[in-house]
Amino acid sequence: MAKQWRGVLREYADRLDVTEATPVITLGEGGTPLLPAPALSARTGANVWVKFEGMNPTGSFKDRGMTMAVSKAVEHGAKAIICASTGNTSASAAAYAAHAGITAAVLVPEGKIAMGKLSQAVAHNGQLIQVQGNFDDCLEIARELAEHYPVHLVNSVNNDRIEGQKTAAFEIVEVLEDAPDFHFIPIGNAGNYTAYTRGFTEELERGITTKLPRMFGFQAAGSAPIVHGEVVKNPDTIASAIRIGNPASWELALEARTRTNGYFGAIEDTKILEAQRILSSEVGIFVEPASAISVAGLLERSAAGEIPAGSTVTLTVTGHGLKDPQWGLRLEDGSQAQPTIVSAETSAVADVLGLKAQA
Ligand code: F0G
């Protein structure tokens, strides 16, 4: 039988807290492609690669952390997990809980999560609760529930999540055979920024790499507490996945930025959507808006002259475009794409395509 990727817990068992006693709850996450992006290299003069995390089983990077968090929860006897989410964590938690045969309760901000993610949480039989508040309210409630009731918290304040997510950095190093010069990544709670920094740090300490990448993290302009150094009470952005005003891993992210000589930036929604379109139309990778902020961040920093020509740059794009497909149908002028309708005749289609019959 051909070799099949076994999921991050088995592939990296020697680098994670996994023992004989750990039941491995996996859906085959990880092993995602690191794709060269010639169009972005041409635009920036750098050597640009995209880590396409939308290729995970539930369509986002959350699966790397969730396999770890749910496996450890089951190891410790948990029968129910809980999380607050802007959508992807809830989809992932519900899927892994279903696989493990336990219950997932998911708290999401009412009306503020993308349809694909809502659909996943319900399809995987999650106990979906829409809270009349924002993500930060949801997380506070989830933490309190986990403290006082028999439910196991699987947000990234749970270190098992960060541990699982650090494996993406290992995979990048395996492909490039060293760390990149720069790594670009979206920031919501800053859990993933923290996880990549940990993964790259461990590779350096093992002597596998020669450097730490400079970790460049981006928040949406209407939701940029870390960039501005203060909690945002009513965060607002079309990138609903990162609409977070009080990030859980704030302190860890500050420490990681200092250690990697990193950077935090804020990006306007219009630039996020522009970058999403560039990635889908020029590279062939469709991501949700929050993920496109990595691309927007690169274009912005490159235009600012901060990315030397020839640098090796990796971008994490965190979630699949199919999660929130409405943005793909939105044209650059803000209008909706209208399908061209023709009669069922070859010549009619050829006319629309501007094709002339060959002699
Ligand atoms: N990109 C996507 C697609 C996300 O869903 C998230 C976070 C992030 C980036 C930011 O990652 O929080 O580790 O800094 N989504 C969480 C959720 C909050 O509930 O799905 P972070």
**Mean pLDDT split into 10-residue runs, the chain, 359 residues:** 90 97 98 98 98 98 98 98 98 98 98 97 98 98 98 97 98 98 99 98 98 98 98 98 98 98 98 98 98 99 98 99 96 90 97 94
What distances in angstroms separate CA 321 from CA 117, 148, 192, 333, one per listed residue?
11, 37, 19, 20
Q: Where are the alpha helices (DSSP H) in the chain?
A: 8-11, 38-44, 62-75, 88-100, 115-123, 135-148, 159-165, 167-176, 191-205, 225-228, 250-260, 269-278, 289-303, 346-353
What confidence score (pLDDT) does residue 332 get?
Answer: 83
In the numeric block, the tokens 């501007």 are attached to 354
- For ligand 1, the distance from its centroid to the CA atom of residue 246, given in whole angstroms, is 13
- For ligand 1, the distance from its centroid to the CA atom of residue 26, given in whole angstroms, is 20
Query: Torsions phi, psi of 312, nearest 5?
Result: -90, 125
Chain centroid to CA 352: 38
Nearest Cα to Cα of residue 95 among 287, 144, 103, 269: 103
Residue 57 and residue 40: Cα distance in Å, rounded?
A: 26
Query: Torsions phi, psi of 83, nearest 5?
Result: -150, 155
Atom of ligand 1 nearest to the CA of 192: 13
What confidence score (pLDDT) does residue 1 get?
Answer: 59
Query: Torsions phi, psi of 157, nearest 5?
Result: -70, -15
> DSSP class of residue 54?
G
What distances in angstroms separate CA 206 from CA 8, 15, 44, 247, 279, one per listed residue?
19, 11, 32, 30, 34
Q: Is the dihedral of CA 93, 194, 240, 109 positive or negative?
A: positive
What confidence score (pLDDT) does residue 262 get?
Answer: 98
- For ligand 1, the distance from its centroid to the CA atom of residue 354, given in whole angstroms, is 43
DSSP string, 113-160: S-HHHHHHHHHTT-EEEEESS-HHHHHHHHHHHHHHSS-EE-STTSHH
Q: Supply the angle between the helices 191-205 and 167-176 in degrees, to the nearest 10.
A: 50
Residue 65 and residue 122: Cα distance in Å, rounded?
A: 20
CB-CB contact of 203 with 170 (8 Å): yes
Q: Which residues' Cβ are closer than 6 Å to ligand 1?
A: 60, 62, 85-89, 156, 186-193, 241-242, 288, 290-291, 318-319
Cβ neighbourhood burial of 40 (10 Å; 0-12, 13-18, 19+): buried
- For ligand 1, the distance from its centroid to the CA atom of residue 292, given in whole angstroms, is 12
What distances in angstroms separate CA 39 from CA 49, 156, 199, 285, one per listed residue?
10, 33, 28, 12
Residue 93 and residue 211: Cα distance in Å, rounded?
A: 34
Q: Is the dihedral of CA 248, 251, 254, 255 positive or negative?
A: negative
Please give the span between the terminal C-alpha atoms of the chain, in angstroms, as a whole number: 51
What confidence score (pLDDT) does residue 359 get?
Answer: 84
- Tell me which amino acid residue 286 is: F
Atom of ligand 1 nearest to the CA of 83: 19
Query: Torsions phi, psi of 75, nearest 5?
Result: -55, -40
Nearest Cα to Cα of residue 244 among 89, 47, 42: 89
- For ligand 1, the distance from its centroid to the CA atom of residue 188, given in whole angstroms, is 5
350 Cβ contact partners less than 8 Å away, ≥ 6 residues apart: 356, 357
71 Cβ contact partners less than 8 Å away, ≥ 6 residues apart: 9, 18, 22, 23, 24, 25, 26
Residue nearest to ligand 1 atom 3, measured at CA:
319
| pTM, full prediction | 0.97
